[in-house]
Amino acid sequence: MSHIQNVSRRGFVKGALSGGAFILAASIVPDVVRADTAKDTPADRAILHPNVFVGIEKDGTVYIIAHRSEMGNGSRTALPRILADELDADWKRVKIIQAVGDARYGGQDTDASHSISSFFSVMREAGATARLMLIRAAAEQWSVPIAECATDLHVVVHVPTGRKSGYGDLAFAAAKLPVPKKAELQLKSRTKWRYIGKDASLYDLEDICRGKAIYGMDARLDGMVYASIEHPPVLGGTVKSCQNDEALRVPGVRQTVLIEPFTPPHEYQPLGGVAVIADNTWAAFQGRKKLRIVWDDGPNAAYNSDTFRAELQETARHPCKVVRNQGDVDAEFDKSRTTIEAEYFVPHLAHATMEPPVALAEFRDGKVTAWVPTQNPQSVQELIAKAVGIRKQDVICHVTLLGSGFGRKTFGDYAAEAAVLSKRLGKPVKVVWSREDDIKFGYYLPVAGMYLKAALDSKGKPAAWLQRSVFPPINSTFDSAARYGSWELNNNWIEVPFDIPNFRVENGPAQAHVRLGWLRSVASAYHTFAVQSFVNELAHNAGRDSLEYLLDLVGPPRIVDLEIPGYKSEPGYPLDIGRLRRVTELAAEKAGWGKRKLGKGRGLGIAAHRYAHTYVASVVEVEVTEKGDLRIPRIDTAVDAGTVVNPAYVRAQLEGSAVFGTSIARSGEITATNGVVNQGNFDDYPVARIDEAPYQTNVYIVESDAPPAGVGEPGVSVIPPALCNAIFAATGKRIRDLPLSRHRLI
Amino acid sequence: MNQLKVNGVDHSFSGDSEMPLLWYLRDILGLTGTKFGCGEALCGCCTVHVDGEAIRSCVLPVGDAAGKEITTIEGVAENGPHPVQKAWMDLNVPQCGYCQAGQIMQAIALLKHKPKPSDQDIDEEMAGNICRCGTYQRIRAAIKAASAGGAS
């Protein structure tokens, strides 16, 4: 077997990952990631493997590495298709290999909707590199100029003679050639793309539908035992005493194991507690019920979410830290005859991934092999290494399919639990979280109180605008002293692009009392709710159509480039108001805004923003029945995500986002009493079901050749404000705090 | 000792009769297509057929399933996908896919009772199955497609 020898080792520039997730990975991968050693994947073992993402075997099989996690986002299909396109490979002959956690692939933390935007070029170049080597090998064999050779779906063709040679037949010769430099590559023109921009089904579609796909929950090893863990009910709590005699009498229970509490800050560490080890999941669950534990609840035992909410809202009523200041808002407030203010509130939210956290790990001979449904396998390597006292490179983290992620599975606490237990027990351990564990021990989206105020001119348009948000920061997960938001403020807060001369943005302090994390759409879930609701209130106050008013605030097409310390717009992704206007107008037009006759109790609401470099607008139609029940007959969403790789799954993501946003608006709420989370399952943490979800979500993709952007999250956070604006249009009832389940709609 | 017939194969189980069928299928038989979602019959991920009826296997004790015909997602079709599975594939229903085995099992049972279900029938019969990715409108469309395609 021949491997390319003269491959230069390339440095992997790691970004500053403080707080983990929201640093876009474009800067943390080399231009083309190259293999530095032969590793053990079929792609690496293939005859031709010019870089870590692709290998071609002599039978023509093309192995492509999927290095990002698949959780319904479609990246396991879309990224390999980009590579396959530039390779001019036959998709039917592509086998996708899921990468283990390994820094050689660059960033693998599948969050922040950036798999495509960060790796579009990398994948193209990886495919084009292999393609050029195959062309050069064929030209050499045929003794013809390279310029006379082209590729056509898995074969190299000598254009003047029509002579052909398959990729598999050329792989051996190609592998002897030097790997071309980036400057030598010729990427396809857009018009030549075979796969990019074309609908594709998920690579795993049939396996999923036939029950053969393997999720973390399905991982098995011979000799493994099952563990279910009773965590401290309050964050930071510890075990005072534990009586396990009754638990041990449950058939199938083998033993109990004390797991040490974390050292603050909690980061991704296990919470500690008592694990029940058993022969099967059921016995472990039953054993847990029989544990008698006395807890020391620790420093968060006084946390009551109702009191906390009042504190957040009170903080938001007073001047806070200024994070953007333009013009003189106070002067305008002083001289204005009309000011309007409003308070908004969004509670803690839980991810409730369909597959609860689960992990299988085996500690053997000083090394750990784990099978984890994780968004962040390199972090799992680090975490396990630290938890069991070994080196990161001695942890192999296999990434299974994820039964959804939504941000929860960037946190690998459950994987570390499995590794710690396996080391203690000397056998493979599968840790299974119950749904109650999932809901009660989440990394919740921060609860947020917001205050907005506008001074209006004679036409009802703001001459000055003030917005304050107060929320415990997600950085508290990494820094116990954190009180202020950081990158959350870039989630549709600092960059609100309204054409208003005096504009001030503030952020107030709050302390976290539960674990906090990013949840699909993150701070945008509360920021966009406040901003887009307030716009609607001002439109109503001015007696103007809310679409027209929103477009007026957004202003004329232009590039907004804010120069604000701590805020940076991503290079290559300027905030383009023309694109924002276009999606807004398109969604409205498709929804029949101002034209369609709506029945009794019906109304339309709109919201628009940019998130993850994607411009999105949704028009929600609601029907509020005479009994006050809410139906959502239709949502029209327009999206401009730049260059689109797989339109089928862009539509799917936006359809799903509409449902996810509906769940947030209707019923999403985590509360706590004396530090203990009150919710535990889908009865008290309801999510939208088929009869509560939007009946029909129509998605319109704006054609664009701008750089690709993200689609997993942007469509979520426009839904709650658009929905509440629609409820206002239908009923005159203004909702300023979520969820709707706390309100009567008539 | 409980005798169970799963996907046409006879098994005997000497363990705890109170163990929910879900965990017997998954942990004892290794049939992992049936998923765990909530343990309280609230989400439908664990839906299987017992004597042709859709039930939540997470709350059905093995002892109560003894002597009955149990069919899981692995057993609904032998050669090639079932028409409902086919409809799911044609319409690209799954996103993460974790709930879809339960959705498909519920939909097969629905179509057995109501070969041409109305929207209201679909709401009523499918409301017990949560899809957190939010694939509901495609689930509805796939059920209608399978219905029009003559699913049994």
A723 has a pLDDT exceeding 50? yes
For A523, other C-beta atoms within 10 Å of its C-beta total: 28
A533 has a pLDDT exceeding 80? yes
Say which residue the tokens 């398959």 belong to.
Answer: A166
Instruction: Tell me which residue of B9, B110, B15, B25 sits closest to B69, measured CA to CA.
Output: B9
Q: Measured between alpha carbons, how far is residue A531 from residues A84, A334, A487, A524 in Å?
A: 42, 22, 18, 10
pLDDT of residue A10: 25
> Which among B73, B89, B134 is the nearest to A658, CB-wise?
B134
- Looking at the DSSP bridge assignments, the partners of residue A363 are A368
Chain B hits for A212, CB-CB cut-off 8 Å, are 33, 74
Q: Is the peptide bond before A739 cis (omega within 30 degrees of 0)?
A: yes
Q: What amino acid occupies position A365? A: D
Measure the CA–CA gap between A445 and A501, rounded to whole angstroms: 32
Could you tell me if B81 lies within 8 Å of chain A, comparing CB atoms?
yes
Instruction: Tell me which residue of A623, A618, A650 sits closest to A636, measured CA to CA.
Output: A618
Could you tell me if A302 lies within 8 Å of chain B, comparing CB atoms?
no
Measure the CA–CA gap between B76 and B98, rounded to whole angstroms: 17
Mean pLDDT rounded to a whole number for chain A: 93
Specify the 3-state DSSP secondary structure of B99: coil
Q: What is the DSSP letter of B27?
A: I
pLDDT of residue A585: 98
Question: Is A682's CB within 8 Å of B40's CB?
Answer: yes
Task: Please state whether beta strands B2-6 and B9-13 pair in parallel, antiparallel, or not at all (unpaired).
Answer: antiparallel
Query: Which residue of chain B is at minimal alpha-carbon distance from A209?
Result: B85
Q: What is the DSSP letter of A109?
A: -
B152 contacts: CB under 8 Å, gap ≥ 6: B83, B111, B112
Distance from CA of A595 to the nearest CA of B (A): 25
Chain B hits for A205, CB-CB cut-off 8 Å, are 89, 92, 94
pLDDT of residue A310: 98
Of A230-239, A330-339, A564-573, the one with minimum mean pLDDT is A564-573
**A vs B: CB pairs below 8 A:** 192
pLDDT of residue A570: 79
A618 has a pLDDT exceeding 50? yes
In chain A, % of residues over pLDDT 70: 95
pLDDT (average), residues A537-563: 95
Distance from CA of A436 to the nearest CA of B (A): 8
DSSP string of A575-607, one letter each residue: EEHHHHHHHHHHHHHHHTTTTSPP-TTEEEEEE
| Residue A39 confidence class, pLDDT cut points 50, 70, 90 | low
Instruction: Tell me which residue of A417, A291, A316, A402 sits closest to A363, measured CA to CA.
Output: A417
A27 has a pLDDT exceeding 80? no
Where do the DSSP E strands lie in A316-428?
321-326, 338-346, 358-364, 367-372, 395-399
> Which among B30, B73, B134 is the nearest to A693, CB-wise?
B134
Chain B hits for A653, CB-CB cut-off 8 Å, are 95
Chain A hits for B127, CB-CB cut-off 8 Å, are 689-691
> Which among B37, B40, B122 is the nearest to A354, CB-wise?
B37
> Which among A73, A211, A691 is the nearest to B72, CB-wise?
A211
Interface of A with B in 638-657 (CB under 8 A): 648-649, 652-653, 655-657
pLDDT of residue A572: 84
> Which among B77, B85, B98 is the nearest to A215, CB-wise?
B98
Helices A719-731 + A524-542 axis angle, to 10: 30
Instruction: Tell me which residue of A262, A260, A297, A294 sits closest to A275, measured CA to CA.
Output: A260
- CB of A531 closer than 8 Å to CB of A524: no
Measure the CA–CA gap between A715 and A719, rounded to whole angstroms: 7
pLDDT of residue B81: 96
pLDDT of residue A430: 98
- CB of A425 closer than 8 Å to CB of A225: yes
A14 has a pLDDT exceeding 60? no
For A263, other C-beta atoms within 10 Å of its C-beta total: 8
A619 contacts: CB under 8 Å, gap ≥ 6: A587, A588, A590, A591, A593, A604, A605, A606, A635, A636, A637, A722
C-alpha atoms less than 13 angstroms from C-alpha of A80 in its C-beta half-sphere: 31
Q: What is the DSSP letter of A303?
A: -
pLDDT (average), residues A107-126: 96
Could you tell me if A562 lies within 8 Å of chain B, comparing CB atoms?
no
A599 has a pLDDT exceeding 50? yes
Q: Could you tell me the two tokens for A279?
A: 């022969």
pLDDT of residue A90: 98
Query: Which residue of chain A is at minimal alpha-carbon distance from B139?
Result: A690
Could you tell me if B58 lies within 8 Å of chain A, comparing CB atoms?
no
Buried b (16+ CB within 10 A) or exposed e, A563-573: ebeebebbeeb
Could you tell me if B68 lies within 8 Å of chain A, comparing CB atoms?
no
CA A86: distance to chain centroid? Answer: 27
pLDDT (average), residues A158-186: 97
pLDDT of residue A582: 98
Instruction: Tell me which residue of A427, A389, A75, A73 sits closest to A225, measured CA to CA.
Output: A427
Q: Measured between alpha carbons, how far is residue A472 from residues A166, A270, A290, A441, A523 in Å?
A: 58, 21, 36, 17, 11
Chain A hits for B35, CB-CB cut-off 8 Å, are 215, 217, 354-355, 403
B105 has a pLDDT exceeding 70? yes
A510 has a pLDDT exceeding 60? yes
Maximal CA-CA distance, chain B: 44
Asked if ipTM goes beyond 0.85, one says yes
pLDDT of residue A1: 30
pLDDT of residue A15: 28
pLDDT of residue B35: 98
Radius of gyration of chain B (CA): 15
Q: What amino acid occupies position A277? A: I
pLDDT of residue A85: 98
Question: Is A690's CB within 8 Å of B126's CB?
Answer: yes
Q: Could you tell me the two tokens for B148?
A: 């029009």
Which of A208, A358, A649 to probe by mutation at the B interface, max B CB count within 10 Å? A208
pLDDT of residue A6: 22
Distance from CA of A656 to the nearest CA of B (A): 4
pLDDT of residue B79: 87
> Which among B28, B38, B99 is the nearest to A280, CB-wise?
B28
Could you tell me if A352 lies within 8 Å of chain B, comparing CB atoms?
yes
pLDDT single digits (tens) A458-488: 999 999 999 999 999 999 999 999 999 999 9
B146 has a pLDDT exceeding 80? yes
pLDDT single digits (tens) A135-151: 999 999 999 999 999 99
> Which among A282, A355, A682 is the nearest to B20, CB-wise?
A282
B12 has a pLDDT exceeding 90? yes
Chain A hits for B39, CB-CB cut-off 8 Å, are 285, 434-435, 681
> Which among A70, A681, A689 is the nearest to B38, CB-wise?
A681
Question: Is A209's CB within 8 Å of B127's CB?
Answer: no
B92 has a pLDDT exceeding 60? yes
pLDDT (average), residues A322-351: 96
> Which among B15, B27, B96 is the nearest to A354, CB-wise?
B96
Distance from CA of A221 to the nearest CA of B (A): 11
Residue B56 phi/psi, 5-degree rounding, is: -90, 110
- CB of A108 closer than 8 Å to CB of A376: yes
A678 has a pLDDT exceeding 60? yes
pLDDT of residue B149: 58
pLDDT single digits (tens) A274-325: 999 999 999 999 999 999 999 999 999 999 999 999 999 999 999 999 999 9
Residue A205 phi/psi, 5-degree rounding, is: -55, -50
Helices (H), A212-267: 245-248
Chain A hits for B14, CB-CB cut-off 8 Å, are none
Could you tell me if A289 lies within 8 Å of chain B, comparing CB atoms?
no
| Residue A42 confidence class, pLDDT cut points 50, 70, 90 | confident
Could you tell me if B61 lies within 8 Å of chain A, comparing CB atoms?
no
- CB of A196 closer than 8 Å to CB of A708: no
Sign of the four-CA dihedral A435, A441, A445, A448:
positive
Q: Is the peptide bond before A160 cis (omega within 30 degrees of 0)?
A: no
- CB of A361 closer than 8 Å to CB of A216: no
pLDDT (average), residues A362-389: 97
Chain A hits for B37, CB-CB cut-off 8 Å, are 354-356, 435
Q: Measured between alpha carbons, how far is residue A525 from residues A305, A459, A520, A664, A738 in Å?
A: 19, 30, 8, 8, 11
